[in-house]
Structure 1
């Protein structure tokens, strides 16, 4: 069963069996704390054990679990979609106002051009058709003229 080795023979090997020693259960008796004035926490705390021994050490706050982040009531995707819709409506309203503004500006420019044409055309008509008040300038009288053999007889 054992392979051949250079040590003692298998019959000479001693087997030692160790039995565990049972630990006596400790009865949980709350240890009295040394009275401390309210509102003050000493740097070092002392505890008197039931057998009269005093254990002194630093007071350690118990471990508190980290707060679990609660998910928001409304998902972020829904909020983003809603904000995108509001932005789209704002842009559409702005585009509607922009097109209305461009239409009104076009109508204003058209009316100004028409008004300028009427005023300027009226001024030209008055200048052309007014017979009175012709002052200065060159008067040309046209008479019957005869041109013979490229010579003007006037």
Structure 2
């Protein structure tokens, strides 16, 4: 193998440590500072990375969850429930109109049936052969037909 193409050994660098630099004191009178409790001051932490570098910084605490907002607003829920109720009412109204149409057809058929039965009863009473109720009786056997004229 040619020496120019030989693999190079990995370069190991010395770890670098970075430390925060404090601010110099102000030349004028310092402004009054609010007192901070020791438990509220974030701690400085250092970690060593796998390649040997050291990283220093403030520890970040997980944020406390705020009051959880519902995934869906109350207005959207109310609108959806109103739509479901309206759909249920429309279905009921459709069934009601179908019931009224069927009842109307049934009553119409009953009226027609009554008219047919009553009309038949009237026809039997008018044209019936049972019993004579007065009037003129014509005996057709004795009648004489001449030239399509009846002479009785």
Question: Do these two structures clear the TM 0.5 threshold for a shared fold by scoring above it?
Answer: no
Larger Rg: 1
Output the TM-score relative to the length of structure 2.
0.43
Higher relative contact order (CA 8 A, sep 6+): 2
Q: Is the helix fraction higher in 1 or 2?
A: 2
